[in-house]
Structure 1
Amino acid sequence: MKVLVVGGGTGGLCLAQGLRQAGVDVQVYERSRTRTERLQGYRVHISPHGAAALHECLPPQLWRRFVDSCGKSGDYRFLTEQLTELLLIEDELTSGPDAASAHHSASRITLHQVLSAGLEDVLHYDKEFVRYERNPDGTVTCHFADGTTATGDVVVGADGGNSRMRKQYLPHAERIDTGIIAIAGKFPLTEETRRLLPSRLVEGPNTIMPPKGCCMFVAPHELGGGVNDETFEYNEVLFENTQSYVMWAFAANSGRFPVQVSELDGDGLRDMVGGMIADWHPGLRKLVAESPGEAVSLLPIRTSVPLKQWPTTNITLLGDAIHSMTPFGGIGANTALRDAQLLCRNLVEVAAGKRSVLDAVGDYERQMITYGFKAVRFSLRNAHQSVSEATAGRVMFKTVLRACSAIPPLKRAMFSGQGK
């Protein structure tokens, strides 16, 4: 059995690592021209689900490299815009007893480096997918923009939210704009800049909850002295592999922004957010104002529309290619890793002669559609609640958080195992 994976992102590479470990013939086709072209992105939260998938699919040495390269974990806080604590959720409350069942702060760049390692002979760059066609013998041939083709027994579309594979295979599958816009940036952490911020902003992730209409997420990616890939030189903007930083993301409905955000560069986006939080805690204002403009990005928030099960074939989809979700909840990458883990298990059984391709893919799709679109709905609900203009709802939620803070058994009941 030969498996073709279209897309070399988090889920596609995790799947390739797992199949390769099991001796399955797998080839990955990535549109980026080189391995270094994907040097972008912010901190990504890896939950116990994602950690378990990486632990299972990665060779032991790469798993250890992933763990060593993660930033320090920390307790999670809900704070007001004046940094008054609403609730502290201790890390041990949501993590398991070992690294494979814990939460991790990972650099997207470093995670991609780890997932790419050792795949040099199966990971093909500069392969922009154009279309596929079915062959009389049941195989599928993928066509790429450079005129080359590849033929396999199973094809997995892992080519992201704008998936061309999905558009051809499931043209009725929709991905829509939520009307929410996020602006994200990075504040580099050095001995000097660290003194500019309140300690709680660098001790762990925080959700900032003003009275209504917007929200902010703040999380440190503080390196713990782990392994960094020397292939990549230091870059003062990217700095994910060599320097600690705090990432922040401010979100609101598009109508709340005072100007047309699509026309602004990084400096303009940063300054606009600074104006919108002018009455917030000075530490939050400093966090935004001192972030380099080159590290500030505009992120329109989109989401997939849940689907019913479709007829199973030897083509399937994984990660954002099928269940793209908002970042409100931090579960998108983890759901893609869960897809990779499940699909890898099933395809390994096909290679071992224990089940048919259609049985393996159909079982994967049934489970993936259930948990994947549950995650889509959860993250969309979180997104709308986070930017809601309803003051009463925000007050009620803050009251619940304060109650959990005051009653430890209630907090344990609500948040124990949350990341799983």
Structure 2
Amino acid sequence: MRVLVVGGGIGGLALGAGLRRRGFEVAVFDRDTDVAATGGYHITLDERAQSALREVVAPQIMRRLLASASALRLRDRDAFWDRRGRLLGHGPDLSGDAGVDVDRVTLRVLLAEAVGDDLRLGRTASGVDQDGDGVPRVLFTDAAPASADLVVGADGTHSLVARHLAGGPTNNPAGIIGFSGRTLREDLSPGERQRLGTRSGLAVGPRGAALYVGFLDPVGNVALDAPELRMSVTTGPTYIWGAMFPESAATDSLRGLRDGALQAALVRRFRERGWAEHTLELLARADPHSVAAYRFNAASTRAADLAPWPAGRITALGDAVHATPPTAGMGAGAAIRDAAALLRHLDDVGDGGATPVEAVARFEAGMRRRGGEILTLAMRTVRLVLATDSTLGAAATAATTPLLAAAARLRR
């Protein structure tokens, strides 16, 4: 069986690696010319995502990944703060958590290596269709069409493959604009280093202002102590943060800014909403060139709404189907799980087993369930942030957070 994969993100590369490992004829096409030149900062892989990854790559690739990843079990418990930086509560105990955080660049480079020569960079797909015999094809802007037994769209939130299948967009703006950046822990004041600790956390204030803080240390908190295999982009304790504001004309205007100008505008935006000055160190002392803006998009949380097309020889996976805001930290992991699931179903094709279309139908049924689950989790935080962006929501947030902070102090 020949399979063409459109998109060389995490899900597409995972699928390509798995197909190559199983002996399928495969080609993965991506418009990028350098897999290391990718957006994003870090990816969380829970136990399910790691198990799926072990199905698609060789053990040595997994070892290199873990040697370059930060173990969640070595972090402090996650925290929740208010806009003054007061502690409101903690997340669950992570001491038994098998999850890891890894730089997106590191993961993509490892997966690309596993795909090998079957990865075709610098190839921009312009569409998909079927020839007169019903054979699926991928069309390109700068090359002749390519045909296959199966075409898989792994081309992200704005997927042309999924749009072709669904007859329109498969997701919509979620109502939030995100801003992300990187800040070295050593660049913060001693007080902020102590407050933030070696943990991830979330602070939510009135009027839809929120700040996620992710802690990444692939050296000090390495998941596998094998320095000779390490290839992490992050080499010291670093906070990977994400600021959130509801979409509006004022917020959208920030998307046109870059680097230090965007960084300064974000600090002003939080300051105008009454955030304590010390909580803004994280933004003010970030690497200016790491600061970027992006829109949150989300598919429906209803599983029945996902992949709303009859199964056939063209399908899609990952964000192309279940575009997920980053608020659950599960989007990339879900795409890897999709890839592993599709591989398992394709293994059943032939020799009296399932037909390719039957395999795709079974895969899409499971993908709908997975997608609905992660979207439900991700949208909880989105709805929380949006709920504070009203007169009543802002007043409730301002009134309740001091009470929660006082209760947290009593518990300590």
TM-score range (shorter-chain normalised) is 0.7 to 0.9
Quote the offset at 1:159 in angstroms. 0.6
> Residue in 2 aligned with 1:157?
153
Trace 1:242-321 onto structure 2 (pairs within 5 A): 242-255=235-248, 257=250, 260-278=253-271, 279-305=274-300, 307=305, 309-321=308-320
2:66 is paired with a residue of what secondary structure? helix
Q: Give TM-score, length-normalised by structure 2.
A: 0.85
> Residue in 2 aligned with 1:92?
94
> Residue in 2 aligned with 1:416?
none
- Measured in 1, the distance between the counterparts of 2:121 and 2:230 equals 17
- Measured in 2, the distance between the counterparts of 1:196 and 1:113 equals 36
Give the AA of the match of 1:6: V
> Residue in 2 aligned with 1:327?
326
- Measured in 1, the distance between the counterparts of 2:144 and 2:410 equals 63
Single out whichever of 115-124 and 383-392 deviates more from structure 2. 383-392
Quote the offset at 1:176 in angstroms. 1.7
- Measured in 1, the distance between the counterparts of 2:405 and 2:295 equals 28
1:342 aligns with 2:337: no
Trace 1:332-371 onto structure 2 (pairs within 5 A): 332-350=331-349, 354-371=353-370
Single out whichever of 130-139 and 174-183 deviates more from structure 2. 130-139
Query: Does the C-alpha gap of structure 1 residues 342 and 230 become closer, same or farther in structure 2, counting only changes over 3 Å?
Result: closer
**What's the CA shift string for 1:173-204, capped at 9, x where partnerless?**
442222311111111344x6574732342401
Listed as ranges, the gaps of 5+ residues in structure 2 are none
CA contact (8 A) 1:7 1:159 kept: yes
Query: Does the C-alpha gap of structure 1 residues 334 and 148 become closer, same or farther in structure 2, counting only changes over 3 Å?
Result: same
CA contact (8 A) 1:3 1:152 kept: yes
Query: Does the C-alpha gap of structure 1 residues 94 and 228 become closer, same or farther in structure 2, counting only changes over 3 Å?
Result: closer
Trace 1:14-413 onto structure 2 (pairs within 5 A): 14-38=14-38, 40-73=39-72, 74=75, 75-92=77-94, 95=97, 102-190=98-186, 193=188, 195=190, 197-211=192-206, 213-224=208-219, 240-255=233-248, 257=250, 260-278=253-271, 279-305=274-300, 307=305, 309-350=308-349, 354-388=353-387, 389=389, 390-391=393-394, 394=397
CA contact (8 A) 2:87 2:405 kept: no
1:141 is paired with a residue of what secondary structure? strand
- Measured in 2, the distance between the counterparts of 1:84 and 1:132 equals 52
CA contact (8 A) 1:251 1:387 kept: no
CA contact (8 A) 2:177 2:251 kept: no
Give the AA of the match of 2:28: V
Single out whichever of 249-258 and 51-60 deviates more from structure 2. 249-258
- Measured in 1, the distance between the counterparts of 2:376 and 2:406 equals 26
- Measured in 2, the distance between the counterparts of 1:86 and 1:12 equals 40
- Measured in 2, the distance between the counterparts of 1:402 and 1:337 equals 42
Quote the offset at 1:374 in angstroms. 3.6
2:26 is paired with a residue of what secondary structure? strand
Q: Give TM-score, length-normalised by structure 1.
A: 0.83
Give the AA of the match of 1:77: A
CA contact (8 A) 1:202 1:219 kept: no
Single out whichever of 119-128 and 396-405 deviates more from structure 2. 396-405
Give the AA of the match of 1:267: G
Give the AA of the match of 1:214: A
**What's the CA shift string for 1:186-239, capped at 9, x where partnerless?**
11344x65747323424011111235522110012112266789999xxxxxx9
Cα root mean square deviation, aligned? 3.1
Single out whichever of 331-340 and 375-384 deviates more from structure 2. 375-384
Query: Does the C-alpha gap of structure 1 residues 47 and 231 become closer, same or farther in structure 2, counting only changes over 3 Å?
Result: closer
2:27 is paired with a residue of what secondary structure? strand
1:240 is paired with a residue of what secondary structure? coil
1:359 is paired with a residue of what secondary structure? helix
